[in-house]
Amino acid sequence: MTDTLLADAAADETARLIGKLAAGPRPGLRIEEVGAVTGIGDGVAFVSGLDRVLSDELVLFASGAVGIASDLRPGRIGVILLGSGGDIAVGDAVRRSGAVAAVPVGEALLGRVVDALGRPLDSLGPVAARETAPIEAEAPTILDRAPITRPLSTGIKMIDAAVPVGRGQRELIIGDRQTGKTSLAIDTMLNQRHSGVLCVYCAIGQRGDAVARVVTALRKGGMMARSVVVVAHAEEGPGPGFIAPYAATTIAEHFTRAGRDVLIVHDDLTRHARSYRELSLLLRRPPGREAYPGDIFYIHARLLERAGQLSARRGGGSLTALPVVETQAENLSAYIPTNLISITDGQIYLSPRLVRKGQFPAIDLGRSVSRVGGKAQAPSFRAIAGGIRIALSQFEELESFARFGTRLDADTRARLTRGAAMRAALRQPERDPMPGGEQIVVLLSAMNGLLDGIAPERMPGALQALRASASTRMEAVGARIEAGEKLTKEDETAILALARAALDSMGGRTDADA
């Protein structure tokens, strides 16, 4: 009897629950489009069955791999894999995600090392970002931009004086291998310690030890807490290397829209172009010049056009881009370097000939130009920039002429001595960016002959004496230089007097110069 009553009670409870569910709201229909893998390559996969997939949409593989729908053709979709894709097999199920590739953005990324999708590569735990943003975005329109009027101090004498960079500019760093391109970019980042500029460094297809050296330099220089490092390792395949600079730009743009100034370094776009060429050939797109696809120019243009100075109504922030490109045998007319030179607002050319002479940074002023920075250059630097270019060009011409052993007059010998002193004054070790006040003291001293006759082995000590005097006895003038004020004749006279005293105290000059 008891068992019968319990069974009836259970049946009544079941009926009540069924009735409650039937009376409640019905769940909506969920339509899911599922395809299948028809082919797999090195960094790409071919999928069928996803007829409604959108371009650049993320697709999810049964193995857990992720890819981007890139090549849409009837009956076949080419997918760029964001990883190795070693576990993907023909016949595996593929699903649409309904979303595009995005990365976390915000303050939580500062001080972090992440991959092309914003996933942490350091040992600091998950990235606690509250927002995400698509890696692809439209560049600011003309009406959303403002003129570039503020300088971005690099701390490198030759650049700040002769090839200035403005905030919001796109300045290309170009040169052969082992000429100091990355060091130049890292020194520029380190010089932002006191400027308030945030930095994003994007390593494309680099080895792990090279990235580790960059991170170590940023930490030692006190800039890691205000920097983001985005890494696409060479071992990951071409997919992450292709999307990494777009992801890094999205991270930087978040700060720019908030009204802040950001510096982004793409190191380097030669590897980025090679990654895209590899993907395009694997996806069986028609090759063009040097086997690059026809849209390689657009690939870089749509990336670098996102840099610029925003107008006041858009927050007034700026995104300064320093893309790096590698040349071979000083060939500036190669395909990718030519494209990037035409896209950017100038280039800093690093010459292997100057490297062999021991001139660091090995900047060739004859081939370097800034098409915008002169308008944003500090007045104190603008007053001496033209003199440096002319003096160095005349010195190099005379130096070549003097090699023939021709008898030289006293004036020519004096100009050779002045040029050699100026070239020595422009030497600068890496990881040692200089404040504007110290740069002005050194440059004015060299141009006015205070460094003439100093023995080469004593030149570093003389330059250090000038820098020490500038930092301890010219704080007011240095502050005015950093503030962008123009120096008066009285200021220049005081600077030269201070420089003479500093050099006399160390006994670095010859009797004739003293």
Q: What is the DSSP string of 68-91?
A: EEEEEETTEEEEEESS--TT--TT
Supply the CATH number for residue 168's domain. 3.40.50.300
HSE-CB at 206 with a 13 A cutoff on CA atoms is 22
Residue partners of 262: CB distance under 8 A and separation at least 6: 197, 198, 199, 200, 252, 253, 255, 256, 317, 318, 319, 320
CATH classification at residue 389: 1.20.150.20
The last residue of one of the domains, among 53, 72, 100, is 100
Instruction: Say if residue 424 is in the same domain as residue 348.
Output: no
Same domain, 289 and 204: yes
Range of 54's domain?
A: 34-100
Question: 364 is written with which tokens?
Answer: 């060739």
Tens of pLDDT along the chain (514 residues) come to 555 655 666 677 777 777 776 776 666 666 778 999 999 988 999 999 998 999 999 999 999 899 999 999 988 999 999 987 778 999 999 999 989 999 999 999 999 999 999 999 998 999 999 999 999 999 999 999 999 999 999 999 999 999 999 999 999 999 999 999 999 999 999 999 989 999 999 999 998 899 999 999 999 999 999 999 999 998 888 999 999 999 999 999 999 999 999 999 999 999 999 999 999 999 999 999 999 999 999 999 999 999 999 999 999 999 999 999 999 999 999 999 999 999 999 999 999 999 998 899 999 998 999 999 788 888 888 887 777 888 888 888 888 777 776 677 888 888 888 889 999 999 999 999 999 889 999 999 999 999 998 988 899 999 999 999 888 877 777 777 777 788 888 888 889 999 999 998 876 454 344 4
Query: Does a structural domain hold residue 514?
Result: no
Q: What angle do CA 408, 411, 416 make, to 5 degrees?
A: 75
Domain end call among 375, 405, 423: 375
- Which residue among 100, 115, 132 closes a domain? 100
Instruction: Tell me, yes or no, whether 185 and 265 share the same domain.
Output: yes
- Token pair for residue 411? 């004036």
pTM above 0.85, yes or no: yes
Count of structural domains within the chain: 3
| Position 23 in a domain | no
Residue entry with tokens 């292997």: 352
At which residue do the structure tokens 């001139």 appear? 359
Examine residue 336 and state whether it is found in any structural domain, yes or no. Answer: yes
What are the DSSP E strand ranges found in 240-317?
261-267, 308-309
- Note whether 147 and 242 are same-domain residues: yes
Q: Determine which helix (DSSP H) or strand (DSSP E) holds 233, and give its type and residue range.
A: strand 227-233
Q: Return the pLDDT at 514.
A: 40
Q: What is the pLDDT of residue 388?
A: 85
Distance of CA 354 to the CA centre of its chain: 24
Asked whether residue 334 is domain-assigned, the answer is yes
Residue 29, pLDDT score: 65
CA within 13 Å, CB half, 455? 7
Within its chain, how far is the Cα of 251 from the centroid? 12
Note whether 80 and 205 are same-domain residues.
no
**Residue found under tokens 């001080």:** 111
Closest CA to 232 of 257, 256, 211: 211
- Tell me the H-state helices in 363-409: 373-376, 379-402
28 in any annotated domain = no
Output the domain CATH number for residue 72.
2.40.30.20
Do 437 and 474 form a contact (C-beta atoms < 8 A)? Answer: yes
SS3 label, residue 176:
coil
Partners of residue 309 on adjacent β-strands: 318
Token pair in block for residue 265: 């370094």
Q: Which of 137, 167, 372 has its CA nearest to residue 248?
A: 137
325 and 453 inside one domain: no
| Residue 383 CB burial class (10 angstroms; 0-12, 13-18, ≥19) | middle
Scanning 112-193, the segments in alpha helix (DSSP H) are 157-162, 181-190
Asked if residue 263 is part of any domain, the answer here is yes
Specify whether 52 is located in the same domain as 118: no
Judge if 163 and 305 occupy the same domain: yes
pLDDT at 485: 81
* Spatial distance between the Cα atoms of 500 and 504, rounded to a whole number of angstroms: 6
Residues 221 and 365 in one domain: yes
Token digits for 89? 């097999």
pLDDT at 289: 92
Does 19 reside within a domain?
A: no
Catalytic residue among 16, 207, 371, 413: 371
Q: What Cα–Cα distance (Å) separates residue 309 from each residue in 139, 152, 161, 264?
A: 11, 12, 22, 13
Q: Is residue 398 part of a domain?
A: yes
Q: Is 371 a catalytic residue?
A: yes
* Cα gap 498→493, rounded to integer Å: 9
> In sequence order, which ranges of 139-237 are alpha helices (DSSP H)?
157-162, 181-190, 208-220
DSSP secondary structure letter of residue 54: P
CA 60 to chain centre: 31
Q: Two tokens at 40?
A: 């797999």
Same domain, 359 and 473: no
**Whether 77 and 175 share a structural domain:** no
Q: Are residues 92 and 108 in the same domain?
A: no
State how far Cα 216 lies from the chain centre.
17
What local confidence, expressed as pLDDT, does residue 342 receive?
96
**In terms of Cα–Cα distance, which of 374, 331, 318, 349 is closest to 168?**
318
At residue 490, what is the residue type? Answer: E
Helix (H) or strand (E) holding 341: helix 335-343
